[in-house]
Structure 1
């Protein structure tokens, strides 16, 4: 799987160019499935209006509204109740998964419960575009600052598909988001390396090679 891990979506030409490079073809020739699941678990997000905004492409985070050839919805909480034959071929045939932000552990739990996690290793050509929690779920750990919900097992690990953690929404002091000082305090509680990035930044990962794509501010914090 090819990863484009964003803080705020496809917010500038550099991130869009990185997405097209990962797809290997124009966005207008590519099919997408959006995954809103993380939104339902976060107290500030959904369910309700914000989930609709993401699915319909009316949110402030450019992802669904980029001009895809087709867009569908993959709701992870529904998958355990339907046969795999109804959704697995759909995922395999789709060029890109657009994964909303929200609660990262809620998303991780339903990725595991639905069976999507088990499918990921076989999706070598699929592009995963994460937004905030949709990016953080691919990391080994998120830290206490980003935990609002815990699964019934109490497990607070995430997927560990990449070997670094992410603090999204870097912002100047006094502005909505996370200040650099807050991010550095968060990183002190993380066991491995981390990236702090604003909404104009993304991390591209292909075959273990990590590339930061940015028209904004970011910082790598070694372990």
Structure 2
């Protein structure tokens, strides 16, 4: 699986070009499945999920001009026959994983069976904020909204952590000094990325796509 792990979606031309390169064809020729699950951990989760789906969220994702777009809600999948969703998952070009609580998302990725399927998929995994955090090393005190998830319970598609929204004016915990304190509890390096940056992973090779600021902490 190829990954494009963003802080705030496809926010600039460099990130869009990186996505097209990973897909191997124009977005208008690609199918996508959108996962809004992480949003539901927040009090305004239903509103956040709607904006993610209808393309009005501040993180550009669903409105990029996909040939087809479906919604895959992880919390219902344990009650759905595998043959009703796994084939569609395997044939989709991109898996769009929205933001929210990464711990909550990790839990539903495991309960739904998606976590076990991800390594075998040919899709491009496009994460936003919590959707990016969840596939790496997640600290057990990421935001305190839900039951703690230790590093060992993270999905582990990559061997580093991501802390999104670096220097965001409305997020004091995203100041670099705070991120460095958080990252100090992890055994893996942490990429602190702002909303104009993404981490690209292809066959284990990692590089940074950015029109903004990023820092590698604890390398």
Which TM-score tier does this pair reach, normalised by the shorter chain?
A: over 0.9
Whether 1:53 and 2:47 are equivalent positions in the alignment is no
Q: 1:107 aligns with which of 99, 105, 108?
A: 105
1:158-173 alignment, distance < 5 Å: 158-171=154-167
Q: 2:93 aligns with which of 92, 95, 108?
A: 95
What is the TM-score with the length of structure 1 in the denominator?
0.92
Query: Over aligned residue pairs, what C-alpha RMSD do you find?
Result: 1.3
Q: Paired residue for 2:194?
A: 198
Distance, in Å, in 1 between the alignment partners of 2:199 and 2:125 is 11
Q: CA deviation at 1:118?
A: 1.5
Aligned to 1:146, the other structure's residue is in SS state coil
Aligned to 1:85, the other structure's residue is in SS state helix
Q: CA deviation at 1:142?
A: 2.8
Q: Paired residue for 1:187?
A: 183
1:80-159 alignment, distance < 5 Å: 80-123=78-121, 125-150=122-147, 155-156=149-150, 157-159=153-155
Q: Verify the 8 A CA contact 1:197 1:217 in the aligned structure 2.
A: yes
Q: Deviations over 1:185-209 (max 9, x none)?
A: 1122222211101000000000100
Aligned to 2:62, the other structure's residue is in SS state coil
Q: CA deviation at 1:222?
A: 2.4
Q: Deviations over 1:106-150 (max 9, x none)?
A: 111111111111211221x21000001100111022341334211
Q: Paired residue for 2:170?
A: 176
Q: Deviations over 1:57-114 (max 9, x none)?
A: 1111100000000100000011111100000001011000110110111111111111
Gaps of 5+ in 1: none
Whether 1:75 and 2:73 are equivalent positions in the alignment is yes
Q: Paired residue for 1:30?
A: 30
Count of equivalent residues: 215
Aligned to 2:179, the other structure's residue is in SS state helix
Q: Verify the 8 A CA contact 1:170 1:198 in the aligned structure 2.
A: yes
Q: CA deviation at 1:24?
A: 0.3
Q: Paired residue for 2:205?
A: 209
